[in-house]
Structure 1
């Protein structure tokens, strides 16, 4: 998939060589996310950051191995944004593969892994059908924000979604009002409120066209 939008900006599927940079972009974007702060709870900042890196690394590896869409937003040859979707073709939530559970437990601990599974299960239970995908991560490098790149990356994800005959749409859990506004402008609709642990947010969905 390749989508030329402005100048040298383009959306393409990530390669294995892109995963390290993608993990770094996601890590920086989700470092202060309330869900991860609670799910990976620790009194030690260094320990939290280590667990967050492990969680992102293992999830990216799993998505790659399961051939799930990992969409990169590039400025020329430079990766500046990432969007990761996981579909119904992969067991999610409480049905996650044992090897994913084991690696995640080793990297983040039992309680953190259970929190991640619970979040996914809660989102799945809220979606209109089992044929919906979940937008697991979407992130931009800090110096590329507020330039319209976020909207273009979302547009690339929705374009991909519309091309999938077996997908009814995409859902995403959002706990930041500004992010919710951006998704709404790009065609997502509010579905329901959802609290995961003590983190309040909402489920937004995009039905495929």
Structure 2
């Protein structure tokens, strides 16, 4: 399918519902979420929807960055970004934990918290941006929007001299080659039952590289 060019936007509160809907559709078939939220047990879709809602609402309440791609006025891809100094903020919130317990249940909340801590444990010392959630709406996959979103994220993070790069993780083996082609290096692996969650790092370009990309 041919490439579709979208507009890059920093998203505010007015996009919250669209962000939640897009991320729910992007994650409900992901192997990691299937394991964390017990996809073989009734209520799985509700647990995924509730988790995405709580993560997004907390992210927006803390006024953390959100970068999206928009076609016309429709949000087609999005990434929640955690700056280096705010990496632990969401899961340290007791209010967030209580809402998760009430919606996703104790066992799934515990699994999510353990997964989150294990991913953070793979990070080397130093300041990095993290991507807790990102996705392209399933209706718009195959149009190179994933590349556009990553490129926008890389350029945005490179403007922060206090960050060494960008970290994300995936348990979907189909995405590994995609991320590696875009310069990501594997820095750790987390076992989640039958899933192997890969933790990946993309270093910010050196100043001369960044200037060349803008030329």
Distance change (3 Å), C-alpha of 1:203 and 1:7: closer
Cα distance in 1 for residues equivalent to 2:78 and 2:143 = 15
**Equivalent residue for 2:130?**
134
Question: 1:120 Cα deviation (Å)?
Answer: 1.2
Matched, 1:14 2:11: yes
Cα distance in 2 for residues equivalent to 1:104 and 1:186 = 34
* Aligned match for 2:189, one of 187, 190, 193: 193
Normalising by structure 1, we get a TM-score of 0.88
SS of the aligned residue for 1:56 comes to helix
**Equivalent residue for 1:29?**
26
**Equivalent residue for 2:165?**
169
Q: Deviations over 1:47-76 (max 9, x none)?
A: 111111110000001111112111111112
Unpaired segments ≥5 residues, structure 2: 206-215
CA-atom RMSD in angstroms:
2.1
Q: RCO higher in 1 or 2 (8 Å CA, sep ≥ 6)?
A: 2
Distance change (3 Å), C-alpha of 1:81 and 1:118: same
Question: 1:189 Cα deviation (Å)?
Answer: 1.4
Give the number of aligned pairs: 203
**Equivalent residue for 1:54?**
50
